[in-house]
Amino acid sequence: MDNNQAERSLRLAVTKRKVSGGSRSMERFQHTANLLTVVQTCRRQDRSVIDFFVQALIAASNNHLSRPSLLPQY
């Protein structure tokens, strides 16, 4: 057994950390981790990351719309 899937999941975060020099605070680290989680989840579900963020921003600006979910639809 190997952990290639786990390593591929971390690749985006590791690359970002190496390029940017890391986060300066724990709060910034948590924000970055949350954003990368959304990106990776959308990719695994073959969903558009941009469309997800657009839907989230529209819902945040309009209280009558429900926010998009990352939970898979069965």
Q: Return averaged pLDDT per consecutive 10 residues of the chain, 74 residues in all.
A: 70 75 78 86 92 94 90 74
pLDDT of res. 58:
95
Q: What is the CA radius of gyration of the chain?
A: 15
Q: Any idea which residue has 């952990």 for tokens?
A: 3
42 neighbors 70 (Cβ within 8 angstroms):
yes
Taking the whole predicted model, whether its pTM rises above 0.85 is answered as no
Cβ contacts of 23-28, under 8 Å, gap ≥ 24: none
| Dihedral angle, C-alpha 50, 55, 61, 64, nearest 10 ° | 180
Tokens of 36: 């990368």
Tell me the torsion sign for CA atoms 12, 15, 19, 25: positive
pLDDT of res. 50:
96
